[in-house]
Chain A
Amino acid sequence: MSDAKVQFNEIFLTDVPYIVARGQIRLGKSGIGWKAASDADMAAAMGYGIPGYSDEKGMLAIQSADIRRIQWQRVAKGFGIRIWLKDGTLHKLDGFDRDDYDSMKDAVKRFYKGITLENRDVSLKGWNWGKTDFEGQNLTFKVENKPMFDIPMNQVSNTNLAGKNEVSIELQPTRPGTKRKAIDEMVEVRFYVPGTTTTTKKPSDGED
């Protein structure tokens, strides 16, 4: 029983934004593996140089010894896991059901010494103010200390001080020529960052 692998189907490898690569994930004592479900799924993840991913086999292999943390969080496609490796690599796999949580938690505990499935509780308050923070290669926007979204730094194509207290971040478009359905892609985000010197007065609000 303890060597048995735990498998989940219809799981998307989302290390690279906007690709649609569906497959199976397996957890075992030696590590975690993901395998593309079809040739099309294999092709979708090809050529990006995802660490640990073999273009020929259409497989992602993660060694147990390399795993630092595993997080479970709500994503658009149901639930996802975030696997952080000791070298800083982050693998993202989405498409889990809420009900997969227990078996995932159990598998992580059984197979990987010292690792527990952490709950990454995301903010759904719908607020647009909070704090920015860096988590590994991600710029994370947090509301009341809960992550609201992450921007992978490798997706940033340009940043600008667009005005006083305003920072704009331009994001890379999807790879040209990629066969894709009409997708909605974020191309720019702007933040108001309060000044470090003037924090007491309300800005230009007239009288109270």
Chain B
Amino acid sequence: NKGNSEEQTIKKFESYKRETALPKEVSNCRIYVDNRADSIILPVYGMAVPFHISTLKNISKSDEGEYVYLRFNFNSPGQGVGKKDSLPISDPNATFMRSVTIRSSDILRMNEMYTSIQNLKKDQAKRETEKAQLAD
């Protein structure tokens, strides 16, 4: 049954069930990597906004003058040919966040964030592959 399998795909990941689970560190309104919850938390106008690592396609970094820019590219429709993605296609009218760019002059910390987010993404991709192999 197609509907069921789609639903399962959608419900596969969730960053936090309740707000009490948000890490304390979000209070300083900076990017935070929560390995335990497989999530990155981005500051958006005073809110701590989690993105599950499964939504992240990749991250890129650019240095421009006194700032470092991190660009978070998320999985969204119409990207990447050939790669089978697990988009929540049950709602064809959904709007997707395709990318978010955050800049900071704290170069050292931004470099650390870049590395730890890449690591989290790699770990998650590895786990997914292992899971897929087990399922075969």
Name A's B-contacting residues (CB within 8 A).
14, 17, 74-78, 80, 92, 94, 98, 122, 124-132, 141, 148-152, 155, 164-166, 182-194, 199-200, 202-206
Contact = CB atoms under 8 A, between A and B. Distances in A.
A71 B15 CA distance: 24
14 contacts: A76-B48, A77-B27, A124-B50, A126-B55, A129-B88, A149-B45, A150-B44, A150-B45, A183-B30, A184-B104, A186-B42, A188-B101, A199-B92, A204-B81
Given A76-B48, A149-B49, A193 B15 contact: no
Contacts of B43: 76, 184, 186
A191 B96 contact: yes
Contact of A76 (B26, B89, B91, B97): B26
Interface in B113-134: none
A190 B75 CA distance: 12
Contacts of B75: 128
B59 to A, nearest CB: 13
Interface of B: 13-22, 26-31, 37, 39, 42-52, 55, 69, 71, 74-78, 81-82, 84-85, 87-89, 91-106, 109
B46 A199 contact: no
Given A76-B29, A149-B44, A204 B78 contact: yes
Contacts of A155: 45
Contacts, number: 166
Given A183-B29, A184-B30, 5 more contacts: A122-B19, A182-B105, A184-B43, A185-B103, A191-B96
A98 B50 CA distance: 19
Nearest to B20: A98
A120 B75 CA distance: 27
Contacts of B81: 204, 206
Nearest to B103: A187
A126 to B, nearest CB: 3
